[in-house]
Amino acid sequence: MSDHAVMMASRRGPLHGLSLPKGTDFSLSEAPHAARFILRGDGASVAAFGPAAPKPLQGSAAGTRTALWLGPYEFLLLAPEEDATTVEAGLKATLPAGTSSLVDISHRQIGLVLEGRLAARCLSAGCPLDLALAAFPVGMATRTIYLKTEIVLWRQAETRFHVEVWRSFAPYLVGHLADALAGTNGL
Amino acid sequence: MSESFRIADTKDSRVSGRPLRFVFDGIAYQGREGDTLASALLANGVHLMGRSYKYHRPRGVLSAGAEEPNALVAVTRGPGRMTPNLRATQVELFDGLTASSQNNWPSLAFDAGAINDLAGKFFSAGFYYKTFMGPKVAGNWLWTKVFEPIVRQAAGLGARTTEPDPDRYAQFYTHCDVLICGGGAAGIAAALAAGKSGKDVIFCDEQAEFGGSLLHEGTASIDGKPARDWLADALAELRTFSNVRLMPRTQAFGYYAQNFVALSERVADHLAEAPNGARERLWQVRAKEVVIATGAIERPLVFPGNDRPGVMLAEAARIYLNRYGVKVGSRVVIVTAHDSAYRVALDLAAAGVVVAAIADTRANPPVARLIEAKAAGLRVIPSATVTDTKGRLRVSGIGIAAVSGVVVDAPEWVACDAVLMSGGWTPSVHLYSQSRGKVVWHEDRQMFLPGASVQAERSAGACKGSFALVDILIEGYRAGEEASGASGLRAFAVSGDAGIEGGTMGRLPLLPGSKGKAFVDFQNDVKADDIELAVQEGMRSIEHVKRYTTTGMATDQGKTSNLNALAIAAGKLGKSIPQVGLTTFRQPYTPVTFGAFAGANRGDLFDPVRQTPIHSWAEENGAAFEDVGIWKRAWYFPRQGEDMHAAVKRECQQARASAGIFDASTLGKIEVVGPDAAAFMEKLYTNPWAKLEPGRCRYGLMLNEAGFVIDDGVIARMGDDRFHVTTTTGGAPRVLHHMEDYLQTEFPDLKVWLTSTTEQWAVIAVQGPKARDIIAPLVTGIDLSKDAMPHMSIREGKVCGVPARVMRVSFTGELGYEINVPADYGRSVWEAVWAEGRKYNAVAYGTEAMHVMRAEKGYIIVGQETDGTVTPDDLGLNWAVGKAKKDFVGKRSLIRPDMVVEGRKQLVGLLTDNPATVLEEGAQITAASAAPTRTSALGHVTSSYESPALGRSIALALVADGRKRMGETLYVPMPGGAIAVKVVGPVFVDPKGDRVNE
C-alpha cells in the first residue's frame, strides 16, 4: 500500500464515442452523472431522502432530489452526484433499522433526456404504452420496456422525458431511438 | 405507345394531365399522374400482365383493387430494392417506374411453362399429394428425377432479391379512441361522426386517396351534390379536425386480441426518389373502439375460359373508366348476375365503348334495369350462360347461350375485346372474422355477414351487407357515433344510386361435354372441376377441399374465389353452404413485407449487444470475442501470429507463472439486504450462512425444488444484514427471479430485499502468484497481507482512489483477487492494473483460458458439468451442503430414493492413454472398447482441454459410480475407434490447494 502512487481513476460511460441525435424536433442527451439508489421497503422511508413518498406511477421531487415510484415497495432515488455520500449516510442514519434496503446503483444505469416535439413518437417506436399527454401526463413515471430492454420512463414536461436504462443496454436504446427518429419522416 | 385507350376528357377522373414514363417488361410506356400500373397499362391497351401459377396461362388484370389475383408484378428500384408479387392494381405510378411480370420464361407473350396447360390432366387437384404417394418406378427415380424437380421449380411465385434491403422500416405503437378501417362511403361517414365528437380518431385506407367507390361514382349524388363533390367536401371537413389522423396508403391487415390492430403504411413506394426516412411503417394500434368499413368485393362468374386476358370484373371496368379515364376495350360484352353491372354498361356506352350485349344469367332481370338498358340502346340477353371464350393473349369472342330449365342452347358467338363479369358482391368480413367474431350465413341474401361482436368493434356499409349508398352512409355515420359515444343521427339524401339486387355463386350452366377450363381461384389455378374432383375423391369439409385443391391458399387468400369454391363443393355434396363450412380469414389481409415486420430489429440492432466497461480495451488490444448470452466477452488475446490454441496456452502458463488479468464484469451480482438476509440465504442456498462473518466469502450452491444444481457463485457477507451475491453470467436474471419468486410466494415473512447490481460493478480478476504485488500499489485502506486478508474474504476500500470491494477469491487455483469498482471507473482501473501487471509480465486472459484453468482445478461450470439432473453429491460438492440446516430449497428432494441410489453419474477426471488426444465434449463413455450397439453409456465427457499446466490433455466427465472407478480404464467410442481413458480424480493441479492460500 502506497498512497502516493495512487492515481485517481477516471470515468467512461457506456455512450463513450457515440453521437446522439440533436435537433429541434428531437434531441437526445445523456443526463448528468447522478447518485442513484434503489430503496426497497416502506414508502414512508422516502421522506428521509427529501421528497414526499411518490404516489403509484409518479415521480416526486424536492429541490435537486427525486424519488420515482417503481412498485409498492420499490423506489428509484436520484440526486446530484456530489450528494452520493451524504444521501447514503443520511438515509442509513435516519431509516428505522430493518425496515428497508438501500443499494447504490449510480453506475448500474445511465439517464437519457429526450426532448422535442417527436420525443414521445420516438419512444413509441419501442414502448407500447400510450404516451399521449392525457394518458401519460407530466410527472408520471413507470418501469416499462423499449423493445428488448427495460427502461424507467419519467415525463418531466410535455415534450421532455427522462429515461433510465442499464448501462450495457444503453447503446442499443440509443441506436433504436436514432433509427426511430429517421422513421418519423413526414410525421 | 400513346395511351390509345385513354378517354379524351379526363377532368372528372382522378388522373392529372401530367405524363409519367414507365417501363413494363422492358417496354417503355406513358401513363399519367394518378394512375396505377394497371390503369396505365390498360390505357395503353395492355391487358396481358402475368402468367398463371400452375398452367402458365396468359392472364390479364381481373380487378382494380387489393383483391387482384392475376396481375402480380415485381417492381425494381435498384439493388436490394426489388419487391415481387405486388398487385399492379395497387402499384402507384411514378416517373421512371420499372416493373416486370412474373412466372414466365422466356417472355410473357411466349412462356415455355404453358406446356403445363396442355398437360393439365396430369396436374389435377391433389397432384402434389398423389405424386408423393405414387407407385415407385425404378426405385424412386420417377419422383427424384421427374416430379420433385418439377414441383420445386414450380414452387413459389415471384423471385426474391439476394442483396440486402437498403431501405428503412419504422414501427410505432399508437393508441386511439376510434380506429376506422376503410375510407369508402361508410368510413367517411363514420369519420365525420367520430371527428365531431372530439375523440382521438385514426382513419386509414389502403389506397392513395380516401373515398372508395365514391372516387369513381359518376351517377349518384349525395345531399344534392354529385358524389365526387360531396366526397371532396367531406374530406375537407375531416382535415379541419385536429383529432382525426388521416392515414392513406395504410392497410389494416390484422385484427388481434384486445382491439389491437396492425396497420401497414406505404410511405415512399409511390415516390420516384428513394426515401430519406422510412419506406414503410408498421403501426401497432390499440384502439378503444373500431369501425370496420372494408366494403365488398365483386365475385367473378365461373364459366369456361373466364380467365382470358380481357375478361375482368365489371365494376373494375367502371373504376378504370371513371377514376382513371381508361376504356378497358372497344367492344365489350357484359355477363352478370347482378344489377350493378348495368351501370357499368351505361357508363361505358356513354363513353363511346360498344357494349355488344348484356348477358344476364337471371331469367327476369329487374324491369328498371331493362328500361335503362333499352334507353341506352343496349341489348340484354336474359337467362344467359357462357359456353366458352376465344382468344389467345386477349379475349376475342364469347359464346353466349340461353338456358331453358337445365337445357343450354347452342351458343351465339359475339366478338369482343373485353368481357366484364359480375357474380354479385361478397362483403369483406376479414377483419371482423380476425377479431374472433363468427360470421353468420344469410340464406335469403346468400351472404356471410358479421354476427355478434366479440371485441369493441362494429361493421358498417357493404362489409355488413348494405349496398344502397344511402344505407351505407347512414350506417357509417351511426357506427362513428356509437364508437365515439356521440348521438344525433344524421340523414343523407341520395339519388341516382344503381340497383343492388342479384348475385350468384358457383359455376354457370354448361354445354354438355364442355371441356373449357372454368377457373375459381385464378391465382392458384384451381378450376371448378378440381373442386368437384376433390369432393368426388372424398373431401367433405371445405377445409379439406381447400388443402387438397389449394383453392384460397394463394397470397390473395381467395378474396375473389372462396364463395364460388364453397358453392361448388356444397352443390356437389348436396349440402347447404353453412354445412360445408367456411375457412378461416387469416392475417395479413394483403401481403406485408418482411421489412415492415423486422423494422429496425436487424443487424446491430437485432438484439442488445451487452458490453462490459472494459470491452473497449479488449477490442483495442486485439481480443477475439465470444457471445455468452447477449454479452460479448473477451475470449482470448492473440498476439501477432498466434492462433487460439497458442494464445490460450500462453495465457494459462503466464497466469500460473506470474499473473493473469481477467474481465469478470459479466458475473451476475445481487445485493441481498435486510435483517433477515442471512435467514433468506439459508433458504436459497445449500450452504450455511448464519455464522459466516462479515468480511468473509463462501462458495454457494443453489438448487431447484427438485434438488438439482441450478447456479453457483461466491457470496460475500458485507455486514450482518447485507450479502454481495455473485451468480453465473448467464444465470443472473434467472437467479434473481428465482429468489424473488421464493421471497414473494414462500417466504413473504422475511424482511429482506433484492437488488441487481450486476452492472453497478466492473470486476477485474487478478490471478496468479504475483496478484498481490500487482494490485498492492493501487489499493488504499485495505491490508492485503496473507493473514489480514485470507483466501475467501472481502474488504471495502479504495482502488485507484475510487470506492471498491476487493474480494480474495480464485477460479484458477492461484492466489487471486477480484476488484469491484463502480462501472464507469472500470476501464481506467483496468488500465492501472494492466500497467502494474506489465511489470511482472502478467497477461490479459479471456474466457477460454479461464475455462481451462478452472478445469485443471476441477471447478465446475453450471451448465457444462451440470445439465439440470445433477445433484451436489454427483459433483462431489457435498461439503457445500449444510447438513445441520433444517431446510433449504431442494433439501427434501436430496433424500428421494433415486437421488441416493447407487449408480448415479458422478464427476470424475479422465486422462487419455495418449496424452495428445483431446476428447470431444459430449462424447459418450462405455466400459468395453467395442461396446455392442444399444449398450447404455456409462456417462459423458463434460469438459475437455489441452492443459498447459500438465502438458497433456485433461477431461472432466460424469460417469456412473465414477468415484468407485478410480484407476479403471474406460472407453470413449468415436468414429475412428474407441479412445481408452483412465478414471482419475477431478482435480489435476494443486490438489491440496496450497497455492490459493499463498
- What is the number of helices (H) and of strands (E) in chain B? 25, 52
Segment B805-831 shows an average pLDDT of 98
Which of B306, B771, B657 has its CA nearest to residue B516?
A: B306
Q: Are residues B916 and B978 in the same domain?
A: yes
Which of B418, B328, B345, B327 has its CA nearest to residue B381?
A: B345
Least Cα separation, residue A181 to chain B (angstroms): 9
Segment B682-694 shows an average pLDDT of 97
Option in A5, A9, A166 nearest B777 (CB)? A5
The backbone torsions φ and ψ at residue B444, rounded to the nearest 5 degrees and listed phi first, read -65, -35
Q: Which tens digit of pLDDT belongs to each residue from B233-252?
A: 999 999 999 999 999 999 99
pLDDT of residue B155: 66
Looking at residue B417, which CATH number applies to its domain? 3.50.50.60
As a whole number of angstroms, the distance between CA B494 and CA B222 comes to 5
The amino acid sitting at B338 is: H
Dihedral sign for Cα A19, A23, A26, A29, please: positive
pLDDT of residue B118: 74
Whether residue B858 is contained in a domain is answered as no
Whether residue B769 is contained in a domain is answered as no
Per-residue confidence at B128, pLDDT binned at 50, 70, 90?
low
Residue B191, H or E segment: helix B185-196
Options 3.20.20.20, 3.40.50.970, 3.30.70.1520, 3.40.50.10780; CATH of A34-105: 3.30.70.1520
Q: Which three cell numbers stand for residue B593?
A: 413485407
Q: Which of B401, B423, B445 is a domain's end point?
A: B423
Write out chain A residues lying below 8 Å of B286, CB-based.
128, 130
Whether residues A147 and B169 touch (CB distance < 8 A) is answered with: no
B171 interfacial to chain A (CB closer than 8 Å): yes
Whether residues A130 and B286 touch (CB distance < 8 A) is answered with: yes
As a whole number of angstroms, the distance between CA B798 and CA B794 comes to 13
Q: Which of B391, B406, B423 is a domain's end point?
A: B423
Q: Are residues B939 and B989 in the same domain?
A: yes
Which of B167, B171, B166 has its CA nearest to residue B265?
A: B171
Helix (H, G, I), strand (E, B) or coil at B403: strand
Compute the residue count for chain A: 187
Q: Which tens digit of pLDDT belongs to each residue from B838-860?
A: 999 999 999 999 999 999 999 99
Whether residues A103 and B671 touch (CB distance < 8 A) is answered with: yes
Q: Burial of B587 by CB count in 10 Å (0-12 exposed, 13-18 middle, 19+ buried)?
A: middle
Is residue B979's pLDDT more than 80? yes
As a whole number of angstroms, the distance between CA B133 and CA B692 comes to 71
pLDDT of residue B386: 97
Which of B551, B533, B760 has its CA nearest to residue A105?
A: B760
Contact indicator for B911, B968 with CB cutoff of 8 Å: no
Which of B693, B803, B676 has its CA nearest to residue A88?
A: B803
Whether residues A12 and B824 touch (CB distance < 8 A) is answered with: yes
Whether residue B476 is contained in a domain is answered as yes
Q: Are residues B292 and B433 in the same domain?
A: yes
Q: Are residues B446 and B419 in the same domain?
A: no
Q: Which tens digit of pLDDT belongs to each residue from B718-736?
A: 999 999 999 999 999 999 9
Q: Which tens digit of pLDDT belongs to each residue from B131-147?
A: 666 566 666 777 777 77
Q: Determine the residue among A2, A3, A6, A121 to mutate to test chain B binding: the one whose Cβ has the most chain B Cβ atoms within 10 Å.
A: A6
Whether residue B509 is contained in a domain is answered as no
Whether residue B524 is contained in a domain is answered as no
B604 interfacial to chain A (CB closer than 8 Å): yes
As a whole number of angstroms, the distance between CA B859 and CA B996 comes to 13
pLDDT of residue A1: 42
Dihedral sign for Cα B782, B783, B788, B792, please: positive
pLDDT of residue B132: 60
Return the C-alpha torsion angle A34, A37, A42, A46, nearest 10. Answer: -30
Share of chain B residues as helix, strand and coil, in percent rounded to the nearest 5? 25, 30, 45
**What percent of chain B stands above pLDDT 70?**
97
Whether residues A1 and B780 touch (CB distance < 8 A) is answered with: yes
B607 interfacial to chain A (CB closer than 8 Å): yes
Write out chain B residues lying below 8 Å of A13, CB-based.
824
**Structural domain boundaries enclosing B982:** 902-998
Write out chain B residues lying below 8 Å of A73, CB-based.
753
Q: Determine the residue among A15, A108, A176 to mutate to test chain B binding: the one whose Cβ has the most chain B Cβ atoms within 10 Å.
A: A108
Residue that the C-alpha cell 375523440 belongs to: B199
Which of A156, A109, A41 has its CA nearest to residue B760?
A: A109
pLDDT of residue B862: 97
Q: Which tens digit of pLDDT belongs to each residue from B72-88?
A: 999 999 899 999 999 99
**What percent of chain B stands above pLDDT 90?**
88
User: How confident is chain A (187 residues) per 10-residue block, as mean pLDDT?
Assistant: 64 96 95 96 86 95 96 95 91 84 97 98 98 97 98 98 98 97 87
pLDDT of residue A158: 97
Angle of helix B185-196 relative to helix B469-484, nearest 10 degrees, comes to 30
A142 interfacial to chain B (CB closer than 8 Å): no
Contact indicator for B631, B666 with CB cutoff of 8 Å: yes
Q: Which tens digit of pLDDT belongs to each residue from B416-449?
A: 999 999 999 999 999 999 999 999 999 999 999 9
Dihedral sign for Cα B922, B926, B928, B934, please: negative
Domain boundaries, given as residue ranges, for chain A:
18-32+109-187, 34-105
Q: Which tens digit of pLDDT belongs to each residue from B752-764?
A: 999 999 999 999 9
Write out chain B residues lying below 8 Å of A7, CB-based.
800-801, 832
Is residue B268's pLDDT more than 90? yes
Which residues, in sequence order, are bridge partners of residue B799? B779, B802
Is residue B56's pLDDT more than 90? no
Which string of DSSP letters, residue by residue, matches B29-91? EEEETT-BHHHHHHHTT--EEEE-TTT--EEE---SSTT-SS-EEEEE-STT-EEEEEETTTP
Write out chain B residues lying below 8 Å of A130, CB-based.
175, 286
Per-residue confidence at B162, pLDDT binned at 50, 70, 90?
confident
As a whole number of angstroms, the distance between CA B709 and CA B339 comes to 75
Whether residues B608 and A169 touch (CB distance < 8 A) is answered with: yes
Angle of helix B542-549 relative to helix B528-536, nearest 10 degrees, comes to 120
Quick one: closest CA in B to A133, which residue?
A: B175
pLDDT of residue A6: 58
Least Cα separation, residue B656 to chain A (angstroms): 24
The dotted CATH code for A18-32+109-187 is: 3.30.1360.120
Option in B277, B756, B777 nearest A183 (CB)? B277
Q: Are residues B278 and B176 in the same domain?
A: yes
Looking at residue B949, which CATH number applies to its domain? 2.40.30.110
B853 interfacial to chain A (CB closer than 8 Å): no
Helix (H, G, I), strand (E, B) or coil at B124: coil
The amino acid sitting at A21 is: P
Is residue B122's pLDDT more than 70? no
Is residue B626's pLDDT more than 50? yes
The amino acid sitting at B987 is: V
Q: Which three cell numbers stand for residue B130?
A: 398423389
Segment B486-513 shows an average pLDDT of 91
Q: Which tens digit of pLDDT belongs to each residue from B627-667?
A: 999 999 999 999 999 999 999 999 999 999 999 999 999 99
A41 interfacial to chain B (CB closer than 8 Å): yes
Q: Are residues B181 and B281 in the same domain?
A: yes
Least Cα separation, residue B753 to chain A (angstroms): 6
Give CA separation, B701 vs B73, B120, B689, B877, in Å.
Answer: 62, 70, 12, 9
B837 interfacial to chain A (CB closer than 8 Å): no
Determine the straight-line distance between the first and last CA of chain A, rounded to whole angstroms: 61
Long-range contacts of B545-552 (CB under 8 A, 24+ apart): B545/B569, B546/B583, B548/B125, B548/B126, B548/B129, B549/B125, B549/B126, B549/B521, B550/B521, B550/B524, B550/B526, B551/B520, B551/B521, B551/B524, B551/B526, B552/B521, B552/B524, B552/B583
A55 interfacial to chain B (CB closer than 8 Å): no
Whether residue B968 is contained in a domain is answered as yes
As a whole number of angstroms, the distance between CA B435 and CA B456 comes to 9
Whether residues B832 and A104 touch (CB distance < 8 A) is answered with: no
If one counts the domains in chain B, the total is 4
As a whole number of angstroms, the distance between CA B928 and CA B367 comes to 96
Give residues with Cβ within 8 angstroms of B772, minimum separation 6.
B784, B815, B817
As a whole number of angstroms, the distance between CA B689 and CA B722 comes to 12
Q: Which tens digit of pLDDT belongs to each residue from B181-234?
A: 999 999 999 999 999 999 999 999 999 999 999 999 999 999 999 999 999 999
Whether residues B605 and A184 touch (CB distance < 8 A) is answered with: no
Q: What is the pTM of this model?
A: 0.93
Lowest mean pLDDT among B53-57, B427-431, B886-890: B53-57
Number of inter-chain CB pairs under 8 A, A vs B:
171
Q: Which three cell numbers stand for residue B478?
A: 351511426
Whether residues B801 and A127 touch (CB distance < 8 A) is answered with: no
Segment B589-602 shows an average pLDDT of 95
Helix (H, G, I), strand (E, B) or coil at A46: helix
pLDDT of residue B141: 76
Q: Are residues B314 and B413 in the same domain?
A: yes
Per-residue confidence at B1, pLDDT binned at 50, 70, 90?
very low
Least Cα separation, residue B759 to chain A (angstroms): 4
Segment B287-308 shows an average pLDDT of 98
Looking at residue B36, which CATH number applies to its domain? 3.10.20.440
B284 interfacial to chain A (CB closer than 8 Å): yes
Write out chain A residues lying below 8 Å of B757, CB-based.
103, 105, 108
Residue that the C-alpha cell 367474431 belongs to: B437
The amino acid sitting at B469 is: L
As a whole number of angstroms, the distance between CA B851 and CA B861 comes to 8
